[in-house]
Amino acid sequence: MNEQSVFPEDLPDRARVVHAEQAGGTEVLIEAQVPLPEPGPNQVLVETAATGVNFIETYQRSGVYPVEHPFVPGTEATGRILAVGESVESLSVGQRITTLEASTGTYASHFLVDAGKAVRVPDEVTDEQAAALPLQGITAHYLVNSTYRVSPGETVLTHAGAGGVGQILTQLLKAKGVRVITTCSTEEKAQIAQAAGADYVLGYEDFAERVREITKGEGVAAVFDGVGKDTYVGSLDSLAVRGVFVLYGGASGQVPPLDPQELNRRGGLYVTRPATHWYLRNAEERSWRYAELFSALTSGDLKLSIGASYPLAEAGRAHDDLENRRTTGKLLLRP
């Protein structure tokens, strides 16, 4: 058993959270006081320094993805360990950690996380970087290393190149010698995507035709599509024979059922719908992904874009900005 106190006496009694008591618009997100969570076996209690805001939380808030109420959103955050539960040996009080797999909602001043799903933050990495990296960074990492393992010289298409995942994805792809075509909705976002390293930045209108022109009719080896409903037909039209359609999100809505014969007709295509938990299945995989991302970040090879930081109580405004695509890069909440 760990010799440290499981629940030190000098901890606060209460925690602040933003929760929803029912599904609905951004107005259902309200601040409240709740009892401070107590770490169970193999868990740690963390004082939040910064929380990452992600699109899935807008689906959970609105009811697209059913959740139990009252509901505290968030699984991604960074902070300092305040207390450890029994049997925790890998972490100790005072250490900084980050995670995208918290056990309790991270729209909060404090949260719990399993020790095995908490990752030590290098001293060179700021709290903002540590909160902005996990979900978008891990997503980009598994997309290019595991879902479709890219090769130097290939051409791929990504969507929303100015977004948080989009910018990281472009940087990882370019580091592997891949030619990147991406899409953006405005000239301002196009400049951001170009700064991230994209070789071609297209608007969404008729992007498949432009991809065919750029590739001299061949199409791309893979499409990484986090937009979904509005782009999936064009994504399929952009693929080369035996190309891979990687649908990793649905910012514009969910893709309707797809007839497998369509894949045959378009050139024997492949379709996959990955999710983060399938790519963090054990300690070795988690360590590999975080280590490579932290290394790229501390060396300067990877740069993170933090679009805005909001007080915890203004989580609803963060959701509104995210849903209406008024932001680029990562959104954070600060307790």
| Domain match, 128 and 240 both | no
What is the 3-state secondary structure of 49-112?
EEEEECHHHHHHHHCCCCCCCCECCCCCEEEEEEEECCCCCCCCCCCEEEECCCCCCCCECEEE
| Domain match, 206 and 95 both | no
* Residue 299 resides in a domain: no
Q: How many domains does the chain have?
A: 2
| Domain match, 104 and 140 both | no
Tens digit of each residue's pLDDT (9 = 90 or more) over 275-333: 999 999 999 999 999 999 999 999 999 999 998 999 999 999 999 999 887 877 799 99
| Domain match, 72 and 193 both | no
Cβ–Cβ < 8 Å for 211, 183: no
Average pLDDT over every residue of 256-265: 95
| Domain match, 161 and 181 both | yes
Residue 89 belongs to domain spanning = 14-133+304-334
Tens digit of each residue's pLDDT (9 = 90 or more) over 105-134: 999 999 999 999 999 999 999 999 999 999
The average confidence (pLDDT) of the chain is 95
CATH of the domain at 108: 3.90.180.10
| Domain match, 266 and 145 both | yes
* Residue 1 resides in a domain: no
Residue 6 predicted with pLDDT over 90: no
* Residue 6 resides in a domain: no
| Domain match, 59 and 103 both | yes
Tens digit of each residue's pLDDT (9 = 90 or more) over 127-184: 999 999 999 999 999 999 999 999 999 999 999 999 889 999 999 999 999 999 999 9
| Domain match, 65 and 151 both | no
Q: What is the pLDDT of residue 328?
A: 76
Pairing state of beta strands 14-20 and 29-35? antiparallel
Q: How confident is the model at residue 266 (pLDDT cuts 50, 70, 90)?
A: very high
| Domain match, 124 and 231 both | no
CA distance 168 to 191: 15
Average pLDDT over every residue of 5-23: 83
Residue 1 predicted with pLDDT over 50: no
| Domain match, 218 and 270 both | yes
| Domain match, 101 and 169 both | no
Average pLDDT over every residue of 30-47: 97
| Domain match, 147 and 124 both | no
